[in-house]
């Protein structure tokens, strides 16, 4: 018989993974036959898995990907795309982030650069890194707007961006060719 007070306390402490498994344990005879340490280990594992899953979901949502379903595993290596599978596998490990290196994806329009960039970003989220995806025109507008606010918005925005481990700036080349954005970068 389960203790309703224990279940309510678990929920009040926001240990919903443990609470859910605790409810399951009371009705599953195979789990009831386990010892205390084994059952407790299952409870802790369930809570840990729930928290990791929630954190991953939050990181992906905060990154604002244009293609939130992109994945390294889903990259299609057609011969005409000239993609190096070994290089992509190596980059997917995230060493370039730790080494503060950049990746520049180049190719014809419609070749899937945005999708691949999002796949790298989601892979970084899976490694529990903070990622932000933004198109260059939106970044420029965001910076320009914050620059002219008198409330310290610019410093706050810069501080926010410095906390990001992987910044994905899309439409970089396209924006430089656009005369209105190109003029903004002329010193």
CA dist., res. 68 & res. 76, Å (int):
17
Quick one: 96 and 165 in the same domain?
Answer: yes
Q: How many residues does the chain have?
A: 187
Per-residue tokens: 83 = 């993609």
CA dist., res. 113 & res. 173, Å (int):
12
Selection from 3-7, 57-61, 152-156 with the highest mean pLDDT: 57-61
Quick one: 124 and 33 in the same domain?
Answer: no
CA dist., res. 112 & res. 84, Å (int):
14
**Cα-flanking dihedrals φ and ψ of residue 179, to 5°?**
-60, -40
Chain-centroid distance, C-alpha 153: 25
Quick one: 159 and 76 in the same domain?
Answer: yes
Beta bridge partners of 133: 168
Quick one: 48 and 87 in the same domain?
Answer: no
Q: Average pLDDT in the 115-121 region?
A: 95
CA dist., res. 42 & res. 5, Å (int):
20
Q: By residue range, what is the domain housing residue 20?
A: 4-63
Q: Are 113 and 150 in contact (CB under 8 A)?
A: no
Quick one: 31 and 98 in the same domain?
Answer: no
Last residue of a domain, one of 22, 38, 63: 63
Quick one: 91 and 140 in the same domain?
Answer: yes
- Taking only the tens place, the pLDDT of each residue in 22-47 is 888 877 788 878 888 888 898 899 88
Quick one: 92 and 148 in the same domain?
Answer: yes
Quick one: 82 and 59 in the same domain?
Answer: no
Q: Are 144 and 178 in contact (CB under 8 A)?
A: no
Q: Average pLDDT in the 138-155 region?
A: 89
Least confident among 79-93, 102-116, 119-133, 163-177: 163-177
Quick one: 77 and 162 in the same domain?
Answer: yes
Last residue of a domain, one of 28, 63, 98: 63
CA dist., res. 82 & res. 87, Å (int):
12
Split into its structural domains, the chain has a count of 2
CATH value at residue 112: 3.40.50.300
- Give percent of the chain above pLDDT 90: 52
CA dist., res. 55 & res. 128, Å (int):
8
Neighbours of 4 (CB within 10 A): 8
Quick one: 167 and 76 in the same domain?
Answer: yes
Name the maximum alpha-carbon separation found in the chain.
74
- Taking only the tens place, the pLDDT of each residue in 169-187 is 998 766 555 545 444 443 3
Quick one: 86 and 176 in the same domain?
Answer: yes
What dihedral do alpha carbons 71, 176, 136, 186 form, nearest 10°? 150
Q: How confident is the model at residue 64 (pLDDT cuts 50, 70, 90)?
A: very high
Quick one: 51 and 94 in the same domain?
Answer: no
């Amino acid at each position: 018989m389960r203790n309703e007070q224990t279940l309510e306390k678990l929920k009040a402490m926001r240990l919903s993974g443990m609470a859910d498994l605790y409810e399951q344990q009371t009705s599953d005879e195979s789990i009831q036959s386990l010892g205390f340490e084994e059952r407790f280990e299952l409870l802790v594992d369930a809570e840990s898995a729930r928290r990791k899953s929630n954190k991953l979901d939050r990181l992906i949502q905060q990154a604002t990907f244009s293609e939130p379903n992109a994945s390294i595993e889903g990259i299609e290596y057609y011969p005409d795309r000239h993609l190096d599978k070994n290089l992509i596998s190596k980059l997917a490990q995230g060493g370039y982030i730790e080494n503060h290196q950049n990746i520049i994806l180049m190719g014809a329009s419609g070749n899937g650069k945005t999708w691949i960039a999002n796949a790298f970003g989601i892979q970084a989220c899976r490694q529990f890194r903070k990622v932000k995806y933004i198109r260059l025109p939106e970044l420029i507008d965001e910076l320009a707007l914050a620059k002219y606010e008198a409330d310290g918005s610019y410093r706050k925005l810069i501080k926010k961006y410095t906390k990001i481990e992987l910044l994905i700036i899309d439409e970089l080349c396209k924006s430089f060719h656009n005369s209105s954005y190109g003029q903004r970068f002329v010193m």
